[in-house]
Amino acid sequence: MKYLLWLLKAAIFFTLFAFALNNQHDATVYFFFGTSWRAPLVLVVLAAFTGGLVVGALGMLPGWWKHRSAAAQLPGATNAPAANSSVAAPPTPAAAPTDLPAVRQHGL
């Protein structure tokens, strides 16, 4: 399985490398007020991809902060590790309630 993953990664790398070699022609990106940027097409695509990643991550930051602050306010939530974390207490079995009817389990 490990070799299959390496083979897949190598195939993706060589495909992207061939894409970069085949798209070395200059491309012009026109901005506002008459400004432009001339660069190889592969750099323009890479810049657009990177810009999309940055904008997407910045768009998700408020949600991350909201969930992080909500999780920090939960009772029992601590950021510091336990003082004696090397010894774990065994779980205690919960007592079965006696006022519930017996449940029959049917197997297939």
Q: Is 4 helix (H, G, I), strand (E, B) or coil?
A: helix
H or E, element range at 29: strand 26-30
Indicate the length of the chain as a whole number: 108
Residue 70, pLDDT score: 87
Query: What is d(CA 88, CA 100) in angstroms, rounded to the nearest whole number?
Result: 32
Delimit the domains of the chain by residue range: 6-72
Residue 97, pLDDT score: 58
H or E, element range at 56: helix 41-72
pLDDT score of 9 more than 70: yes
Residue 55, pLDDT score: 96
Backbone conformation region of residue 33, classed left if phi is above 0, alpha if psi is from -120 to 50, else beta? left
Beta bridge partners, 36, equal: 30
Phi/psi of residue 72, each to 5°?
-70, -25
79, amino acid identity: N
Q: Are 46 and 32 in contact, with CB atoms under 8 Å apart?
A: no
Model pLDDT for residues 58-103, shown as the tens digit of each residue: 999 999 899 888 888 888 766 655 555 566 666 666 665 566 566 6
Residue 107, pLDDT score: 60
pTM recorded for the entire structure: 0.51
